[in-house]
């Protein structure tokens, strides 16, 4: 298995939307799709995709936040590829990207379904908003220390 991470390009849009759709409604609320489309269209330069053997299987963005902080945005993995180490590779890349931006902390806005993944990577839950992403999809705000 060859795994690589590269910058998102406009031709990747349909594949990323297919991955989003495959994760709905388990990890994303249906109403979030329009937000994801807008994010890809307006922030293409910030987004990255992960390819396994030449096929896009995941994506994410690490963007600068307030001083000393960065944000992990729209991390998603094709369900057919989950469990193969892709999430771990993206988290390693996210940590490195945040460190390159001078961040000591990575902010993550997760759901109750994705929060356990981030907890395994050392993130801490800060708060919970019931139905924060949509009906039945609770927002869990988290932070992950960079370094150490």
Sequence spans of domains, the chain: 3-145
| Each residue's pLDDT tens digit, 43-70 | 999 999 999 999 999 999 999 998 899 9
| Each residue's pLDDT tens digit, 64-116 | 998 899 999 999 999 999 988 999 999 999 999 999 999 999 999 999 999 99
Q: Which strands, in side-by-side order, build the sheet including 137-145?
A: 3-7, 47-52, 55-64, 69-77, 105-111, 137-145, 124-134
Q: Choose the CATH number for 3-145 among 3.40.630.30, 3.90.550.10, 1.10.1040.10, 3.30.450.40.
A: 3.40.630.30
């Amino acid at each position: 298995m060859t795994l690589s991470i590269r910058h998102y390009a406009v031709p990747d849009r349909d594949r990323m939307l297919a991955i989003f759709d495959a994760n709905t409604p388990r990890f994303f609320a249906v109403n979030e799709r329009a937000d994801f489309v807008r994010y890809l269209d307006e922030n293409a330069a910030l987004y990255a995709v992960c390819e396994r053997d030449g096929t896009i299987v995941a994506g994410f963005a690490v963007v600068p936040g307030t001083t000393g902080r960065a944000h992990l945005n729209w991390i998603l993995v094709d369900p057919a590829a989950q469990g193969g180490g892709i999430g771990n590779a993206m988290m390693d890349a996210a940590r490195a990207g945040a460190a390159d931006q001078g961040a000591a902390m990575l902010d993550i806005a997760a759901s109750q379904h994705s929060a356990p993944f981030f907890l395994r990577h050392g993130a801490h839950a800060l708060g919970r908003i019931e139905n924060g992403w949509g009906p039945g999809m609770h927002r869990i705000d988290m932070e992950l220390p960079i370094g150490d």
